[in-house]
Amino acid sequence: MIRIKNLWKRYSNVDVLRGLNLEVHQGEILVILGRSGVGKSVLLRHIIGIEKPDQGSIEIDGVNITHLKKNQIYHAVRNMGMLFQGSALFDSMNIEENTAFYLKQHRDIVTKKRLEPEVIQVRVQEALKMVGLEGAGHKMPSDLSGGMRKRAGLARLIVYRPSILLYDEPTTGLDPITAQQINELIVTTQNELKGTSIVVTHDLHSALFMADRLALHQEGQIIHVSEPETFMNIDHPTINFLRENQQLKRKQPS
């Protein structure tokens, strides 16, 4: 369970988060919809502890991480992982090395022990196979397409089996076919790890495919949260626009 209360964050003279409240249920995929630049990515960075709010609280499984020190935050969010919008791969490492990086640097989040090299190798190959990159471990990030980089970033995320997964615009910049493949991988990952996922996006098709619940982020707040069928029937200008745009896409000839 993730519980966010009255979260505020200001950059310069702009309030990006303005008293935001949200609860994320264990085991669900919650998709946060909103226009670009409204603070969705900022919210994810606060949840994982990269940034601290000016006001408010974030509870992860009952632990308020807001005022923890850096080493305490690490222990509080060690079961959490994030797929960044640009995948954030290390340019100097090949895909296999990128995928293995966390396991080599940290103890296993379940056993709290260092993993043997052969165990790490098995885990890495399993993760690469799961995202369709078996046999590509020797390639460098610069050799990959945008979709393959997303897959590699996802492999690096799932290899250490976090229980909370955060996705920052996972399909941005991808063609529709590749985007749908990423959507399916996110759902598969959710089912495999039996975790809790938060996905931020402005892609309604992806949102409807993945979500157990949808949330609308607008003007620094979450103003609507509900299951997809209920959400899409809410009378709100942004939701009306999303619904009408989705209907137009369905009518367009292939």
Report which of 34, 208, 150 is spatially closest to residue 44, judged by C-alpha positions. 34
**b/e burial code for range 8-17 (CB count within 10 A of at least 16 → b):** ebeeeeeebb
CA atoms of 1 and 86, how far apart (whole Å): 27
Provide the whole-model pTM: 0.90
Mean of pLDDT values over 144-157: 91
Tokens at 157, concatenated: 């995320």
- Of 16-20, 28-32, 163-167, 244-248, the poorest mean pLDDT is in 244-248
| pLDDT at 221 > cutoff 90 | yes
Mean pLDDT of the chain: 90
- Of 40-54, 101-115, 124-138, the poorest mean pLDDT is in 101-115
Partners of 8 in the beta sheet? 18, 55
Band (39; pLDDT cuts 50, 70, 90): confident
| pLDDT at 253 > cutoff 60 | no
Mean of pLDDT values over 247-251: 57
Domain extents in the chain: 1-79+197-254
**b/e burial code for range 155-180 (CB count within 10 A of at least 16 → b):** bbbbbbbbbbbbbbbbbbebeeebbe
Provide the pLDDT for residue 85: 83
Partners of 200 in the beta sheet? 32, 168
Mean of pLDDT values over 58-72: 90
Predicted confidence (pLDDT) per residue in 199-212, tens digit: 999 888 899 999 99
| pLDDT at 248 > cutoff 70 | no
Four-way CATH pick for 1-79+197-254: 2.60.120.10, 1.20.1270.360, 3.40.50.300, 1.10.510.10? 3.40.50.300
Q: Which of the given ranges, 26-30, 104-108, 109-113, 250-254, has the highest pLDDT on average?
A: 26-30
